[in-house]
Amino acid sequence: MYPILEAKKLADKIYLMVVKAPRISANCKPGEFVIVKMDEKGERIPLTICDYDREKETITIVFQTVGASTERMSALQAGDSFRDVVGPLGNPSDFVKEDIEELKKKKYLFVAGGVGTAPVYPQVKWLKEHGIDVDVIMGSKTKDLLILEEEMKAVAGNLYVTTDDGSYGHKGMVTEVIKDLVNNQGKKYDVCVAIGPMIMMKFVCLLTKELEIPTVVSLNPIMVDGTGMCGACRVTVDGKVKFACVDGPEFDGHAVNFDEAMKRQQMYKTEEGRALLKLRE
Ligand code: NAD
Ligand code: FES
């Protein structure tokens, strides 16, 4: 059993939980994820690790309620437990394996969209801990949906906040801030990391391709087993079939077929669509 030590609501439908998971907290790295199960028969829910504390033996997860399982999960409180937390799964972010001195020569731009701020945070924090300051753009629909702003402020070199409706920070989508930084403020970036809704990652990639900035995205398609066996998380990258759970979750954004990935995500939302996808696989 994995006890929940802290549970709080961050914004409408967005929740944060600190979970005691000693083996995972001892080994996890930025970019990796876990699969949680509430009880024996519960659905397996993949979630990125938002933070970890090796001394306290905890991991922090952030999730949005999108269906019956996550709705039920949001009712859990400190003192409750998860039946299972499996991980760390997937591959760590590429920069974790790079030489720190080489890494220090590169200028990184992180783009965090909505709940995608949760997986961006541990990456920016890791880089800060290794002496690397990065620029971060955080975008949300409105001020009320902005999460982890103070935490991000503490680890980002420069933080640019934008809301679609202008209720806080800049007004407009993250892509407009990228354009402003590069075209008007003369910023130069060697790598962009974009994590958020699929549609955001698609449009960030179209723009960064034009601006010639190599871009990494973290994909979160529907996952079932998380071990590369079921095919649910299949995506096409550079014309080749990849499984986000074992080959990712991070990929070269300029090579991802986002239209196919979005279509699959939509189809998985209905029973009929799931059956159809199974037949094709
Ligand atoms: P959202 O819809 O509020 O979007 C966040 C920001 O993305 C917007 O404020 C905007 O700046 C930008 N954006 C959206 N559409 C855009 C477009 N067409 N062009 C340019 N920029 C655009 O975000 P949300 O409601 O928090 O998103 C939830 C989605 O994010 C869910 O589908 C969830 O699965 C996904 N998600 C992805 C990851 C990941 O690892 N990739 C992690 C967590 C959540
Ligand atoms: Fe089953 Fe990736 S979740 S193959």
Residue 13 has what pLDDT?
93
For the sheet with 250-252, list strands across it: 170-171, 158-163, 135-140, 108-113, 191-195, 215-218, 250-252
What are the extents of the domains in the chain? 2-89, 94-217, 219-281
Ligand nearest the Cα of residue 248 is 2
Residue in the block written with tokens 């437990």 = 81
b/e map of 121-146 (b: 16 or more CB within 10 Å)? bbbbbbbeeeebebbbbbbbeeeebb
Q: Give me the residues paired with residue 137 across strands.
A: 111, 160
Instruction: Choose among 208, 255, 14, 233: nearest CA to 111.
Output: 208
Condensed to tens digits (0 to 9), the pLDDT of residues 170-181 reads 999 999 999 999
Question: How many CB atoms are located within 10 Å of the residue 120 CB?
Answer: 28
Mean pLDDT of the chain: 93
| Lowest model confidence (mean pLDDT) among 87-101, 172-186, 195-209, 259-273 | 259-273
The helix (H) or strand (E) run that includes residue 162 is strand 158-163
How many angstroms does the Cα of residue 181 sit away from the middle of ligand 2? 37
Say yes or no to pLDDT of 120 above 70: yes
Cα separation values, 13 from 64, 150, 168, Å: 5, 19, 20
Q: Give me the residues paired with residue 240 across strands.
A: 237
| 200 close to 18: Cβ distance less than 8 angstroms | no
Cα-to-chain-centroid distance, residue 180:
24
Residue 162 has what pLDDT?
97
Residue 41 has what pLDDT?
81
Please indicate whether residue 117, judged by its CB atom, sits closer than 6 Å to ligand 1. no
Query: Does 94-217 carry CATH code 3.40.50.80?
Result: yes
Q: Which fold would CATH assign to domain 2-89? A: Elongation Factor Tu (Ef-tu); domain 3 (2.40.30)
Tokens read off for 40: 């024996």
pTM of the predicted protein model:
0.93
Say yes or no to pLDDT of 56 above 70: yes
Q: Maximum Cα–Cα distance for the chain, whole Å?
A: 55
Please indicate whether residue 231, judged by its CB atom, sits closer than 6 Å to ligand 1. no
Residue in the block written with tokens 């029973």 = 271
- 177 vs 179: CA distance, rounded Å: 5
| Lowest model confidence (mean pLDDT) among 76-80, 189-193, 246-250, 266-270 | 266-270
Work out the average pLDDT over 102-121: 96
Asked if omega into 88 is within 30° of 0 (cis), the reply is yes
Contacts with 88 (C-beta within 8 Å, 6 or more apart), sequence order: 24, 27, 28, 29, 32, 33, 34, 49
Please indicate whether residue 224, judged by its CB atom, sits closer than 6 Å to ligand 2. yes
Work out the average pLDDT over 137-158: 96
Say yes or no to pLDDT of 274 above 70: no
Say yes or no to pLDDT of 193 above 80: yes
Most confident range (mean pLDDT) of 30-44, 57-71, 153-167, 215-229 is 153-167
Cα separation values, 117 from 24, 73, 110, 241, Å: 21, 20, 10, 27
Asked if omega into 249 is within 30° of 0 (cis), the reply is yes
Residue 11 has what pLDDT?
95
Say yes or no to pLDDT of 197 above 70: yes
Work out the average pLDDT over 229-252: 94
Say yes or no to pLDDT of 24 above 90: yes
How many angstroms does the Cα of residue 236 sit away from the middle of ligand 2? 14
Shortest-distance Cα residue to atom 23 of ligand 1 = 114
How many angstroms does the Cα of residue 5 sit away from the middle of ligand 2? 29
* Same fold yes or no, 2-89 and 94-217: no
Work out the average pLDDT over 231-255: 95
Residue 271 has what pLDDT?
63
Residue 75 has what pLDDT?
94
How many angstroms does the Cα of residue 139 sit away from the middle of ligand 1? 8
| 174 close to 113: Cβ distance less than 8 angstroms | yes
